[in-house]
Amino acid sequence: MVVIILFLLIAYNLISMIHEKTNSVFKDIRFWLVLASFFLLLWIAVKSYPV
């Protein structure tokens, strides 16, 4: 449940970041930070489930 909420918050942050009109360098840094945190959360979620 918590993982789903975190995924939804990251997706919302990514969508709102794409639609805002700010400096492109700052926007690029935030984009890659959000994307990196998304992949980190995805990796942790995949590793936590037993095979």
b/e code 20-42 from CB counts within 10 Å (16+ = b): eeeeeeeeeeeeeebeeebeeee
Name the H helices within 1-51. Answer: 2-19, 24-48
Domain ranges of the chain: 2-48
Which residues, including other chains, have CB under 8 Å from residue 15's CB and lie 6 or more apart? none
Q: Give 28's pLDDT tier (boundaries 50, 70, 90).
A: confident
Q: Give 43's pLDDT tier (boundaries 50, 70, 90).
A: very high
Better pLDDT: 51 or 3: 3
Query: Looking at residues 24-45, what average pLDDT do you find?
Result: 83
* Alpha-carbon span 5 to 44, nearest angstrom: 15
At 20, list the tokens: 């805002």
pLDDT at 1: 78
Q: Give 20's pLDDT tier (boundaries 50, 70, 90).
A: confident
Mean pLDDT, all residues of the chain: 83
